[in-house]
Chain A
Amino acid sequence: MIDIIQLVIIGIIVGSIVGLGAMGLTLSYGVMKFANFAHGDSMALGMFLAFIVVGDLGWAGGNIGRLSFGWGMIPAIALAMAGVAMLNVGADLTIYRRLRSRGAGIIAMAIASLGLGIMVRAVVQMIWGSAPQRYATGINPALTLPGDLKVKPDQFFIVGLTLVVAFGLYLLLYRTQLGKAMRATSDNPELAEIAGIDTQRIRLSTWAISGALTALAGVMLAIQAQLRFNAGFEFLLPLFAATILGGIGNPWGALLGGLIVGVTQEVSTEWIDPGLKPGVPFVLLILILLVRPRGIFGSSV
Chain B
Amino acid sequence: MNPILEAPTLITWVGSVNWTVGFLTTVGIFAIVALALNLQWGYTGVFNFGVVAFFMVGAYTSSLLTLEPASEFEDYAFGLEWPIPVGWAAGALAAGVLALLVGLPTLRLRRDFLAIATIGVATILRSVVNSTEGLANRGAGLNGIPRFLDGLADGADYRWVMLGIVLVMLAFSYLVLQAATASPWGRVLRGIRDNEDTAMAAGKHTTVFRMQSFVLGGMMMGLAGAIFAHRQGAISPTGFSDLFGTFLVWTMLIVGGSGNNRGAVLGALAVGFFWFGTPLIQEDLPDFLGTRVFQLRELAIGALIIIFLLLRPGGLLEEQPRVSRFVPKPGRRPAVATAGHEEGGP
Contact = CB atoms under 8 A, between A and B. Distances in A.
Answer yes or no: are A and B bound together in one complex. yes
Interface of A: 34-35, 37, 95, 98-99, 103-108, 110-112, 114-123, 125-126, 233-234, 236-237, 240, 244, 273-279, 281-282, 285-286, 289-290, 293
A119 B302 contact: yes
Contact of B120 (A105, A112, A117, A237): A237
Interface residues of B, number: 46
A237 B242 CA distance: 13
A240 B116 contact: yes
B306 A105 contact: no
Given A236-B119, A237-B119, A281-B120, A95 B128 contact: no
B120 A107 contact: no
Nearest to A279: B124
B169 interface: no
B199 A107 contact: yes
B200 to A, nearest CB: 10
A279 B332 contact: no
B128 A244 contact: no
A111 B121 contact: no
Contacts, number: 135
A190 to B, nearest CB: 12
Which of A98, A112, A120 neighbours the largest number of chain B CB atoms within 10 Å of its CB?
Answer: A112
A147 B309 CA distance: 57
A112 B115 contact: no
Interface string B89-106: 000000000000000011
Contact of B250 (A111, A126, A275): A111
B247 interface: yes
Interface stretch (B55-63, B225-233, B291-299): B291-299
Nearest to A95: B306
A233 B247 CA distance: 13
B132 interface: yes
Which of A111, A233, A237 neighbours the largest number of chain B CB atoms within 10 Å of its CB?
Answer: A111
Contact of A122 (B109, B116, B250, B302): B302
A289 B108 CA distance: 10
A interface, over-half SS? helix
Contact of B113 (A99, A281, A289): A289
Contacts of B132: 273, 276
Given A108-B309, A111-B250, A285-B120, A118 B128 contact: no
A275 B130 contact: yes
Given A107-B112, A237-B119, A240-B116, A114 B296 contact: no
Interface of B: 45, 47, 49, 105-106, 109-113, 115-117, 119-121, 123-124, 127-128, 130-132, 197, 199, 242-243, 247, 250, 254, 292, 295-296, 298-299, 301-306, 309-310, 313, 331-332
Contacts of B299: 118-119, 122-123, 126
B70 to A, nearest CB: 20
Nearest to A280: B124
B124 A98 contact: no
A268 B144 CA distance: 36
Nearest to B133: A273
A293 B111 CA distance: 12
Which of A234, A273, A276, A282 neighbours the largest number of chain B CB atoms within 10 Å of its CB?
Answer: A282
Given A117-B302, A276-B127, A105 B199 contact: yes
Given A108-B313, A234-B123, A278-B124, A114 B117 contact: no
Given A116-B306, A118-B301, A276-B131, A285 B117 contact: yes
A8 to B, nearest CB: 22
Contact of B298 (A35, A98, A122, A240): A122
A55 to B, nearest CB: 19
A291 to B, nearest CB: 9
A286 B105 contact: yes
Nearest to B333: A103
A34 B197 CA distance: 13
B113 A293 contact: yes
A114 B298 contact: no
Contact of A275 (B45, B131, B242, B313): B131
16 contacts: A35-B115, A37-B119, A110-B47, A110-B115, A114-B250, A115-B309, A116-B306, A119-B298, A122-B299, A125-B298, A126-B299, A240-B119, A244-B113, A276-B128, A278-B120, A293-B109
B112 A112 contact: no
Contacts of A117: 302
Contact of A103 (B111, B247, B254, B332): B332
Contact of B313 (A104, A125, A277): A104
B98 to A, nearest CB: 13
A119 B47 CA distance: 21
